[in-house]
Amino acid sequence: MLHKLQTKSNSHRYFELDAFRGITVILMVICHFLFDLDYFGLWDMPYRFWPQQRYGFPITIMFIGIAGVSLSLAASKTKDAGTLTKKFIKRGAFLFAAGLLITAVTWIYPHDGAILFGVLHLIGISTILAVPFLLSFTKEAQDLGKYKEKAAWLIPLFFGIIVILLGEVVEKINGPIWLIPLGIHPYGFYSLDYEPLFPWFGVVLLGVAVGAWLYPRGVRRFSFEFLKNEPPFLKRVS
């Protein structure tokens, strides 16, 4: 029965995730548009809307958290551990390379506040670092009985909380610029976009935990039927 449910689930998109991802992308675009207006002096953006403040901060959490959920679902559809490792390293490297491209562009202009480790760098590295937490999600692991439903979400939840708590400590440490990915940076460091591994990798792991709990073995725990008639543009945006 579970196999039938999984096959059916895998043959369709997760419309609830499309809706959530679409809303997140729209909010992110609006936030960055307002930030750009402020940066170029066309409009004074209220401080509370900045990415790391009251209204911008939740959008960042949503964007990074949904990436963790997506990793969980992708792992549950992957054949075996070897395939998963290769696929996620390749995907992570691609995203990190895209982040490096943004670093190069912002280093040239505006230079001041260049993005050395932003959201793409974070998601790229996190995709690779998350592999050990996802090996038991594969179809082979499920068939061999290595997948444990409670452990699948409890382990990333535990480590996610630890990483987030450590982030509170790490952010108070000043150090050389090459430690920026960890959250350690020189005094007075400024960047237009900065999401270090501590605490943000913890948010990715929380997303993995949420994905594992909501979609054990890639199967919906709840129906989410009330979201089935989402506006079509949300699916296109996501």
Average confidence (pLDDT) over 124-136: 98
Residue 125 contacts by C-beta under 8 Å, 6 or more apart in sequence?
A: 92, 96, 181, 197, 201
- Residue 13: predicted pLDDT: 73
Higher pLDDT, 71 or 38: 71
d(CA 34, CA 31): 5
Q: Which residue has the tokens 């943000």?
A: 200
Please compute the mean of the pLDDT values over residues 48-65 and round it to a whole number.
74
Phi, psi dihedral angles at 194 (to 5 degrees): -145, 110
User: Which pLDDT belongs to residue 58?
Assistant: 85
Q: How confident is the model at residue 176 (pLDDT cuts 50, 70, 90)?
A: very high
Q: Answer yes or no: is pLDDT of 112 > 60.
A: yes
Residues 195 and 64 sit within 8 Å (Cβ to Cβ): yes
- Kindly tell me if the per-residue pLDDT of 166 is higher than 90: yes
Of 34-43, 103-112, 153-162, 173-182, the range with the lowest mean pLDDT is: 34-43
- Residue 53 pLDDT greater than 70, yes or no: no
Average pLDDT, the chain: 87
- CA–CA separation, 87 and 80 (whole Å): 11
Percent with pLDDT over 90 in the chain: 66
Of 171, 225, 206, the C-alpha closest to 64 is 206
Q: Which residue has the higher pLDDT, 224 or 34?
A: 34
3-state SS string over the chain? Answer: CHHHHHHHHHCCCCHHHHHHHHHHHHHHHHHHHHHHHHHCCCCCCCHHHCCCCCCHHHHHHHHHHHHHHHHHHHHHCCCCHHHHHHHHHHHHHHHHHHHHHHHHHHHHCCCCCCCCECHHHHHHHHHHHCHHHHHHHCHHHHHCCCCCHHHHHHHHHHHHHHHHHHHHHHCCCECCHHHHHHCCECCCCCCCCECCHHHHHHHHHHHHHHHHHHCHHHCCCCCCHHHCCCCHHHHHHC
Separation of alpha carbons 7 and 217, rounded Å:
11
pLDDT for 11 beyond 80? no
Whether the per-residue pLDDT at 51 is higher than 60: the answer is: no
* 55-69, 77-91, 137-151: the lowest-pLDDT one: 55-69
Whether the CB-CB separation of 193 and 201 falls below 8 Å is answered with no
What pLDDT was estimated at residue 237?
Answer: 52
According to the model, what pLDDT value does residue 236 have? 56
* pLDDT digit string, tens, across residues 196-228: 999 999 999 999 999 999 999 999 888 766 555
pTM for the structure as a whole: 0.87
Q: 50 or 101, which is more confident?
A: 101
